[in-house]
Amino acid sequence: MSIKILAIESSCDDTSAAVIIDDNICSNVVSTQEIHEKYGGVVPEAASRQHQISILPVIKAALDKAEISKKELDAIAFTRGPGLLGSLIVGVSFAKSMAMSLNIPIIEVHHMKAHVLAHFIEKPAPQLPFLCLTVSGGHTQIVKVNEDLSMDILGKTLDDAAGEAFDKTGKMIGLPYPAGPHIDKAAKLGEAKFDFPEPKVPGLDFSFSGLKTAILYFLRDRMKEDPQFIVNNINDICASVQSRIISILMNKLKKAAKQSGISEISIAGGVSANSGLRDELTKAGKELGWNTYIPKFEYCTDNAAMIAMAAHFKYQKGEFAGQDITPAARLPF
């Protein structure tokens, strides 16, 4: 008998619902909030209010697209954390209430682990064990996925995430939020001719706060000399910033692969949609003999399909949550 699970993702500013039947994603509906663009970043209160508006129509659309009714569901999964607490409350509360009304179990999912497990949505999937560079607006980490699908963090950011470096740079040079896609597009038209520093962080950990400061001071000094510097050099600035962020990420990933002896290498998270990072991973794979795995764009950013896939594995193990479960803005990996 097929197992049908509804999954809900509401960790930040995207409301998403998906339906998985066994291990097949049958729908993945995402409603993106545009209200935050004018503020240059996500406003938590506005995000949670928009989730309340969007969650019911998004879930209905996911069920309709999968061509099943809510009465056919065997479980409901949701993102417990990490994320914005107000946003998480909306998704968790809805999932618990809906599951209670249907008398079916609930499954809590760790947002960052779901990003990694998104690699099992489509074939071929990485062979176990594999490494995953998980890069988003709030997290940057290298994860080892073991034979039993348990995960160990080999390296993580000590301060800011790579996604924050993209967004803060975008704000400095006047690009809309989220800035990552705009920087990626402009970088293709520019040349990486400005040499920004690469942080000297031991081991496999990352740091991006110093890079952000270096970019700020660079722009400040150049603007004193030429008030039109950013306007006249925006493509080269974007290319230079993107090149440095990617080199930081790839150098650590290469080091992790060498130390672990693992050649199954993947990327995940919102920043894994960056074309420069995708190209560099593919290039490194050919040079170093890696088998590389890059998710489709729709499974890189926050989406419920990855929550559904994580829930699929947890359902198989009988890992259900109780109605006393609460959301967590910070959640141990």
- Tens digit of each residue's pLDDT (9 = 90 or more) over 117-131: 999 999 999 999 999
Burial 58-93 (b: 16+ CB within 10 A, else e): bbeebbeebebeeeebebbbbbbbbbbbbbbbbbbb
Lowest mean pLDDT among 135-144, 271-280, 301-310: 135-144
**pLDDT tens for each residue of 183-199:** 999 999 999 999 999 99
Which of 44-48, 178-182, 228-232 shows the lowest mean pLDDT across its residues? Answer: 44-48
Per-residue model confidence as pLDDT tens digits over 295-333: 999 999 999 999 999 999 999 999 999 999 999 999 999
For residue range 55-99, list pLDDT tens digits in order.
999 999 999 999 999 999 999 999 999 999 999 999 999 999 999
pLDDT tops 90 at residue 47: no
Q: How far apart, in whole angstroms, are the C-alpha atoms of residue 34 and residue 155?
A: 33
pLDDT band at 39 (very low <50, low <70, confident <90, very high): low
d(CA 322, CA 320): 7
pLDDT of residue 253: 98
pLDDT band at 13 (very low <50, low <70, confident <90, very high): confident
At residue 79, the pLDDT reads 98
Alpha-carbon distance of 289 to 264, in angstroms, equals 9
Residue 329: exposure state from Cβ atoms within 10 A (0-12, 13-18, ≥19):
middle
* Average of per-residue pLDDT values in the chain: 95
Q: How far apart are the first and last CA of the chain?
A: 32
pLDDT tops 90 at residue 220: yes
What proportion of the chain, given as a percentage, has pLDDT over 70?
Answer: 97
Can you give the pLDDT at residue 36?
A: 60
Nearest to 140 by CA among 118, 165, 117: 165
pLDDT at residue 40, as a whole number = 67
What pLDDT, on the 0 to 100 scale, is given for residue 137? Answer: 80
pLDDT at site 43: 79
Q: What are phi and psi of 143, to 5 degrees?
A: -115, 135
Note the pLDDT of residue 275: 97
What would the pLDDT profile of 147-186 be if each residue is shown by its tens digit? Answer: 999 999 999 999 999 999 999 999 999 999 889 999 999 9
Average pLDDT value for residue range 34-59: 82
How confident is the model at residue 102, as a pLDDT? 98
In this prediction the pTM is: 0.94
Instruction: Report the C-alpha gap between 28 and 128 in whole angstroms.
Output: 26
